[in-house]
Amino acid sequence: MNRKYVIGVDIGGQTSKLGVVDARGNILSQSTIRTDTHEDVQLYVRDLAAAIRDLAEHVGGMSFVRGIGIGVPMGNYYLGTVENASNLKWGGEWKGSIPLAELVTRETGLPVALTNDANAAAMGEMAYGAARGMKDFIMITLGTGVGSGIVVGGNVVYGHDGFAGELGHVVMVHEGGRQCGCGRCGCLETYTSAVGVARTARQLLAESEQPSLLRSVDADAITSEDVCKAALQGDAVAIDIFNFTGDMLGKALANFVAFSSPEAIILFGGLTKAGDLLKKPLMEALDRYVLSLWRGKIKVEFSELPASDAAILGASALAWEL
């Protein structure tokens, strides 16, 4: 058996990260391509295939690669498709449903399995990260959007159609909620993603005259990193932004716990860099709103894996099953 490596691909709204992985979970080489520069998915797939071939060269070429695992927003494990992904700009021939696994197989000659990016991250966390040894946990990814991977009894929950675990699109505010990319209003993602934090910043800055380091940044260009930096310097408005964000996330997590009673909730993605700025208000809201039998019992942990590694490793784990 020469095919002793797999490729893991993590497709995000802006960039796609990929790596070649051995059976022990070492990422031997990795690279990045842009996701958002292609309007046509076929051109994207061509770029991706080229990057995959380049990576494969590091382990002796494509004949040593067993298969490709892909984590992608709205990826469907059962169908190998990407459905209506509101954060991806791909159009072209397929509007609603893109047969990504098939397209990548056609360009590379290798078998492909794909799932939701957050499900892939959960698999990576279970195999190599903070959820090692856990059978029941929820992974929440706080990136451009908010994703989730739910593990029950050691298995990722795919549901009837393969789309289970869209917790970023749980509606938190039913009246007057923020417009979401999904077409509805009030989704968790509009408040607790990196983009959501920037929206909160613009809102709080507009609602008051309170002095803030953030006022030196062009309002439209504020990022969650700006807010984090300001909060770490003690900026009161920036701290309030994280209090609001953590509170909203804690309220959501309290309800998720009532669903699957997880041992832990693992948080992953750019926003976790805020550390206790996010976690403290989150834990307060979780404790206040969770059913008493779980109060103080649910671990909330940040991913122990570097963001890109977890996603690549998780996606690659899919490929071993091919």
- The mark string for 196-235 relative to a copy of itself (x by CB under 8 A, - otherwise) is ----------------------------------------
In the complex with a copy of itself, the residue whose CB is nearer, 43 or 171, is 171
Segment 259-318, which members bind a copy of itself (CB under 8 A)? 259-263, 289, 291-294, 297
82, two tokens: 């990407």
Judged by CB under 8 A, the residue of 25, 106, 184, 236 near a copy of itself is: 184
CB 104 within 8 A of CB 48: yes
- Strand ranges (DSSP E) for the chain? 5-11, 15-22, 27-34, 65-71, 75-76, 81-83, 97-98, 112-115, 137-142, 146-152, 155-156, 264-268, 299-302
CB 195 within 8 A of CB 218: no
Q: Distance between alpha carbon 294 and the CA centroid of its chain, in Å? A: 26
Judged by CB under 8 A, the residue of 133, 176, 183, 296 near a copy of itself is: 183
Which span sits near a copy of itself by CB under 8 A: 4-12, 20-28, 253-261, 270-278? 253-261
Using DSSP, state whether 15 is helix, strand or coil. strand
Element (H, E) at 249: helix 236-260
Q: Across the chain, which distance is largest between two alpha carbons, in Å?
A: 67
SS (HEC) of 131-169 = CCCCCCEEEEEECCCEEEEEEECCEECCCCCCCCCCHHH
Judged by CB under 8 A, the residue of 161, 203, 211, 219 near a copy of itself is: 161
Which span sits near a copy of itself by CB under 8 A: 55-63, 176-184, 204-212, 230-238? 176-184
Segment 97-156, which members bind a copy of itself (CB under 8 A)? 135-136, 150, 152-153, 155
Which span sits near a copy of itself by CB under 8 A: 104-112, 125-133, 178-186, 232-240? 178-186
In the complex with a copy of itself, the residue whose CB is nearer, 127 or 170, is 170
In the complex with a copy of itself, the residue whose CB is nearer, 69 or 165, is 165
Interface with a copy of itself: number of residues (CB under 8 A): 43
Residue 292's contacts (CB-CB under 8 Å, 6 or more residues apart) are: none
Site membership for a copy of itself, residue 158 (CB under 8 A): yes
Q: Give me the residue label for tokens 């996603």.
A: 311
Phi, psi (deg, nearest 5) at residue 161: -115, 0
Minimum distance, C-beta of residue 130 to a copy of itself, in the bound complex (Å): 15
Which span sits near a copy of itself by CB under 8 A: 9-17, 20-28, 179-187, 235-243? 179-187
Site membership for a copy of itself, residue 95 (CB under 8 A): no
256, two tokens: 């998720």
Q: Which residues bind a copy of itself (CB under 8 A)?
A: 74, 83-84, 135-136, 150, 152-153, 155, 157-167, 169-171, 174, 182-184, 251, 254-256, 258-263, 289, 291-294, 297
